[in-house]
Amino acid sequence: MLSAFSNAALSATRSRAPMTVRSISSSAIASKDFVQEIYIKELKAYKAPAKSADAHKGQVRDFHAPKAPQAPSVSTSDISSELDAYSKSEPDVAEASASSSSSGSLLESHEDVNAWLEEAKKPVVKEHH
């Protein structure tokens, strides 16, 4: 019996079709881009047109250094006369009146604040409709 079983197993393995193995490649097939090759070839072959020596004329202005500044003319008599006029002048009256009026407005605003605070302390009366 053992021989019959081994013969059947041997014949079964021979009757099988040969196994085909298919491999999967992860690298892409390199395809040439003819348009890109022609474009690169034309870029390499390009020669820029030569510019003339006077091409910059009209585009750039000539540089002229500015004139050196001159010191102002001041005489000692002018300075002394201005200092004398300043020392003889009286202090501005507008500053004194402004300071007194500002202190008065401070008192008024202080009174207004106190009145507002007293008004705020009063209880709120709710009227029912």
Q: What is the pLDDT of residues 71-123, one digit of tens each?
A: 888 788 888 888 888 888 877 666 555 555 555 555 566 678 888 888 889 88
Q: What is the DSSP string of 43-96?
A: HHH--PPPPPTTTTBTTBPPP-PPPPPPPPP--HHHHHHHHHHHHHSPPPHHHH
Q: What is the pLDDT of residues 22-81, one digit of tens each?
A: 767 666 566 788 999 999 999 999 999 888 888 878 888 888 999 999 988 878 888 888
pTM across the whole model:
0.22
Residue type, 128: H
Question: Which residues face 58 on adjacent strands?
Answer: none
Q: What angle do CA 56, 58, 60 make, to 5 degrees?
A: 65
Q: What angle do CA 97, 98, 104 make, to 5 degrees?
A: 90
